[in-house]
Amino acid sequence: MGILLLLFLSLGMIYQLYMEETFQIYDQTLRFHVRAASDEKEEQQLKLKVRDAVLASLQETIDTAENVQNLESALGERLDVIKETAETTLGQSGSEKMVTVAMTTERFPIRRYGSVVFPAGEYQALRVDIGEARGHNWWCAIYPELCYTGEKSMELSGKGKKDLDESLSEKEEKVLAGKKIKFRFKILEWLSLCSAAAGK
């Protein structure tokens, strides 16, 4: 059993490396990441208010983005506006916490959104940190468009599906849709859970 477990882990790690080297999804995706000040209930609620306000303020920019590079550039020019939106939202709820907004490169765990699997790995992200940013965080994708509203982020929007079709090969789309190598993705999900547990 020990040898089989080691084999499964090795296969999972090899396939993860293969994906990060060859899959276009990492270069064709922009994530959105909001980190709460703490895990206190009030701070978690503020995180969601900031999430909704920022998404609403960026909707037109996301809708009109022709590609991920276009969106990254547009958001990079609006970081101060995004920060102001977040801080105004906090102020309306009586919070004076500072907000930090940046375009970053981050490692995300594997995540299923409806029928699409976003593999673990490094992605570009628009990150909003509230206060000390030590609380549970929230993330999704704004390209291809997934978090078109805060509460409805389990399926790609119509534009998101179109963006995905134009950005990825047919083979990669089938993999991300779970139509191929389901067993390998199960291994990767298990590895991701183990890594998350080890980090706590």
What is the per-residue DSSP string for 33-67?
Answer: EEE-S-SSHHHHHHHHHHHHHHHHHHHHHHHH-SS
> Which residue type, as a one-letter code, is found at position 99?
V
Give the model's confidence band at 18: pLDDT under 50 very low, under 70 low, under 90 confident, else very high.
low
- The model carries a pTM of 0.78
Nearest-angstrom CA–CA distance, 67 and 150: 22
The tokens describing 107, both together, are 């490692």
Q: Both tokens of residue 53?
A: 């306000």
Cβ of 88: how many Cβ atoms within 10 Å? 13
117 vs 9: CA distance, rounded Å: 20
Return the pLDDT at 149.
Answer: 60
- What pLDDT is stored for residue 165 in this prediction? 80
User: 110-130 pLDDT, tens per residue?
Assistant: 887 777 788 888 999 999 999
Q: In terms of pLDDT, which residue wins out, 112 or 133?
A: 133
Average pLDDT, the chain: 82
Q: What is the mean pLDDT of residues 3-31?
A: 70
